[in-house]
Chain A
Amino acid sequence: MTEQEHAHPRYILIWVILLVLTLAEVGYAFMDLPKLMLAVGLIIMAVWKAVLVAMYYMHLRYEPRRLWILAVSPIPLAILLVLAVITEF
């Protein structure tokens, strides 16, 4: 499949980006910043890495659109549960 051949060289590039982000996360975590900024920044980086793995290693970028709609469907549910219960505390 031409899309796969096109994707093939990207695996290493994605690997490098993941490494850089991991190092950035570790560095960022120990900076002297307010807790909220730390948490938000780290989560953004983590989600970025996760999306890269999903899109390129799990090939979601090249799958039919209906599949990635299916794949992301539980995420709103997960977020909903956590946010709703946090309001308790």
Chain B
Amino acid sequence: MSTTTATETHTGHAEGHHDLGFIRTYIFSTDHKMIARQFLFVSLLFLLVGGILATMVRWQLGFPGQPMPLGGMLPDTMAPGGIILPEFYNSLVTMHATFMVFFALMPLQAGVFGNLLIPLQIGAEDMAFPRINMVSFWILPVAGIIMLASFFVEGGAAGAGWTSYAPLSSSGEWTGVYMGQILWLVSLTVLGFSSILGALNYVTTVMNMRAPGMTWFRIPLATWSLFVTAWLLLLAIPILTGGLILLTFDQTLGTAFFRPEGSGEPLLWQHIFWFFGHPEVYILILPAMGFTSEVIANRSRKPIFGYHSMVIAMVAIGFLGWIVWGHHMFQSGMNPLLGMTFVVTTVVIAVPSAIKTFNWLGTLWRGNIHFDTPLLHAVAFVSLFIIGGLSGIFMASAPVDIYIHDTYFIVAHLHYVLVGGSLFGIFAGITYYYPKMFGRMMNEGLGKVHFFLSFLFYNMAFFPMHNLGVQGMMRRIYDPNQYEYLQGLQPLNTFISISVFLFAATQVIFAFNFLWSLRAGKEAGRNPWKSNTLLWATPSPPPHGNFPEMPIVNRGPYEYSHPDHDEDFWPQDDPPATSGSGGQPAASPTPELVPGD
């Protein structure tokens, strides 16, 4: 079990599967592992798009009114002479967030790792509905092309913010954007189906296709996180879809669901959007929490501290996430009594996240820590998520939020949880699971350089934003210097912009490492991290059908450094300890398969 041989990396097709040809293997594949790779490549491209849009935003804020390098390539409707127009700036902030949230962070977590990890970690041969899985992937590039196309229509891309508040978004009169807004709405409506179909696949698979012995409390935390995420997607996305459709009617048919001139209610849009939008942020963070748990336990060679409480905390976040949405609306003019309720619920939801944070720290404590790249990213996740969570506590208080709402304090918070949190968590996931996906290790040296530079530049860019916000700089503003009291902040803005550019440039190292290692990385073997989950019981990459026969699970996923076992890891499907080996077995043997799970 502790040694791997070169032959185990062979990407064999399981016996009985005929050669499907190029199209069925690489384009229209129903194999969850290929679909995971497809999601990975497409989402990384969209991550690049979102990143480019961000650098353009930061150019304007860092070097206001100056021609942007390569800006001459842009049409005059966007940036005449390379100088970004205010209307284009609004589109940039809108589309940066839209691409990052919907086309990068969601598919990178739910799409890539939901597909890769769920069947393999529970011992299934594929998802419950492989063809629906394929459709779920293909919707992503289609929706993405619609969204990209919106830049090139008359009036440009949507410019009402990623939250698309009415009445700014319900009519082109005020933003000057007509078709672009409609395409934004259509693209996201289409994309919603990808999430819903994917979510129902994940839920069905986890509920019904676990290998014998894989009880609920033996499921690895990565799969648990994706399971909770799937439920949130399933129930939240349709709400957004309904709202998007009504807003599209306002834009195209002349209805007045959200338009005040027709007795419509702009606040209704905000409620619909955030009822989706808050579960959405947990969709964006939970999988990263899952990967972090896996990596920290494995690289510390210790069981995760408080596995049961980790599961319960994630489920609690899933539940509580539904009743906090109003904290995005404290300044909207909403009913203050309703607002007070949201203050209470929002403060409460900090608790399960805090439990998870303490458990990660407890796992690291006195562990035999291997400081390789995945672990570095996972620890960065924890520390940066703490900062993001702490700033969140400030916002949870409605009176404090009066001062900081729609300022850069919020921008700092959301980037700490989404970049410091989700993105570093994604890096942890990619560097950790890359060997299983591609059969090769990423380069450790490059990985560490990428990590340290990213961590440094990231904090240089985003920590000062707390400062900007408290000093009164508002969000989504093209020219803060129009206000005298903000003019003194320009040096800080320029510093932030340069840090962002350096952070962006650092990602080239990651891209190079990723692509180079596909061909030239060290061969990984079956279980390079000496992990316990069923995922690592298969070859790297696994063949069609994943397992020659369904594995039998005899213990939980975190039996690292068990006192009764020689090795410092104990795979879930290893046979139960026989009574003669001294001491108690690691866990109860496979329970009888009777109702009650």
Q: In the complex the two chains form, is B323's CB within 8 Å of A80's CB?
A: yes
Other A-B pairs, 18, CB within 8 Å; known A81-B271, A81-B275, A87-B337: A74-B235, A77-B235, A77-B322, A80-B322, A80-B323, A81-B239, A84-B271, A84-B326, A84-B338, A85-B268, A85-B271, A87-B335, A88-B267, A88-B271, A88-B334, A88-B335, A88-B338, A89-B265
Interface string of B269-309 (1 = CB under 8 A from A): 00100010000000000000000000000000000000000
**Helix, strand, loop or mixed for chain B's interface?**
helix
**Chain A residues positioned under 8 Å from B335 (CB to CB):** 87-88
What is the number of residues of chain B that contact chain A, defined by CB distance less than 8 Å? 14
Nearest CB of B to A5, in Å? 23
**Chain A residues positioned under 8 Å from B239 (CB to CB):** 81
- Determine the residue in chain B with the shortest Cβ distance to A88: B335
Q: In the complex the two chains form, is B338's CB within 8 Å of A87's CB?
A: yes
In the complex, A10→B334 CA distance in Å?
49
Nearest CB of A to B215, in Å? 15
A-B contact pairs, 5 of them (CB 8 A): A80-B323, A85-B271, A87-B337, A88-B334, A88-B338
**Chain B residues positioned under 8 Å from A88 (CB to CB):** 267, 271, 334-335, 338
Nearest CB of B to A51, in Å? 21
Nearest CB of A to B335, in Å? 5
- Determine the residue in chain B with the shortest Cβ distance to A85: B271
**Chain A residues positioned under 8 Å from B334 (CB to CB):** 88
In the complex, A74→B196 CA distance in Å?
15
**Helix, strand, loop or mixed for chain A's interface?**
helix
Binding site for A on B (CB under 8 A): 235, 239, 265, 267-268, 271, 275, 322-323, 326, 334-335, 337-338
**Chain B residues positioned under 8 Å from A89 (CB to CB):** 265
- Determine the residue in chain A with the shortest Cβ distance to B332: A88
Closest A-B pairs by Cβ, 5 of them: A85-B271, A87-B338, A88-B335, A87-B335, A81-B275
What is the number of residues of chain A that contact chain B, defined by CB distance less than 8 Å? 9
Which residues between 5 and 64 of chain A lie within 8 Å of chain B, taking CB atoms?
Answer: none
**Chain A residues positioned under 8 Å from B271 (CB to CB):** 81, 84-85, 88
Nearest CB of B to A48, in Å? 25
Nearest CB of B to A29, in Å? 25
Interface string of A67-81 (1 = CB under 8 A from B): 000000010010011
Nearest CB of A to B328, in Å? 13
- Determine the residue in chain B with the shortest Cβ distance to A74: B235
- Determine the residue in chain A with the shortest Cβ distance to B238: A74
Nearest CB of B to A22, in Å? 27
Nearest CB of A to B549, in Å? 27
**Chain B residues positioned under 8 Å from A77 (CB to CB):** 235, 322
Nearest CB of A to B187, in Å? 25
In the complex, A84→B275 CA distance in Å?
11
In the complex, A88→B325 CA distance in Å?
14
- Determine the residue in chain A with the shortest Cβ distance to B341: A84
**Chain A residues positioned under 8 Å from B267 (CB to CB):** 88
In the complex, A81→B243 CA distance in Å?
13
In the complex, A85→B342 CA distance in Å?
12
**Chain A residues positioned under 8 Å from B323 (CB to CB):** 80
In the complex, A54→B322 CA distance in Å?
25
- Determine the residue in chain A with the shortest Cβ distance to B333: A88
In the complex, A88→B269 CA distance in Å?
13
**Chain B residues positioned under 8 Å from A85 (CB to CB):** 268, 271
Nearest CB of A to B330, in Å? 13
**Chain A residues positioned under 8 Å from B235 (CB to CB):** 74, 77
In the complex, A25→B477 CA distance in Å?
55
**Chain A residues positioned under 8 Å from B337 (CB to CB):** 87
In the complex, A88→B268 CA distance in Å?
9
**Chain A residues positioned under 8 Å from B265 (CB to CB):** 89
In the complex, A10→B337 CA distance in Å?
49
**Chain B residues positioned under 8 Å from A87 (CB to CB):** 335, 337-338
- Determine the residue in chain B with the shortest Cβ distance to A76: B322
Nearest CB of A to B40, in Å? 31
**Chain B residues positioned under 8 Å from A84 (CB to CB):** 271, 326, 338
In the complex, A88→B338 CA distance in Å?
8
Nearest CB of A to B99, in Å? 28
In the complex, A72→B177 CA distance in Å?
42
Nearest CB of B to A69, in Å? 12
In the complex, A62→B103 CA distance in Å?
42
Nearest CB of B to A60, in Å? 17
- Determine the residue in chain A with the shortest Cβ distance to B322: A77
In the complex, A74→B232 CA distance in Å?
11
**Chain A residues positioned under 8 Å from B322 (CB to CB):** 77, 80
In the complex, A89→B267 CA distance in Å?
10
Nearest CB of B to A72, in Å? 13
Nearest CB of B to A86, in Å? 10
**Chain A residues positioned under 8 Å from B268 (CB to CB):** 85
Nearest CB of A to B202, in Å? 14
Nearest CB of A to B198, in Å? 18
In the complex, A13→B267 CA distance in Å?
46
In the complex, A84→B323 CA distance in Å?
10
**Chain A residues positioned under 8 Å from B338 (CB to CB):** 84, 87-88
**Chain A residues positioned under 8 Å from B275 (CB to CB):** 81
In the complex, A61→B239 CA distance in Å?
28
In the complex, A34→B235 CA distance in Å?
35
Nearest CB of A to B267, in Å? 6
In the complex, A88→B322 CA distance in Å?
18
- Determine the residue in chain B with the shortest Cβ distance to A64: B595
Nearest CB of A to B140, in Å? 25
- Determine the residue in chain A with the shortest Cβ distance to B203: A70
Which of B265, B268, B335, B337 has the most chain A CB within a 10 Å cutoff? B335
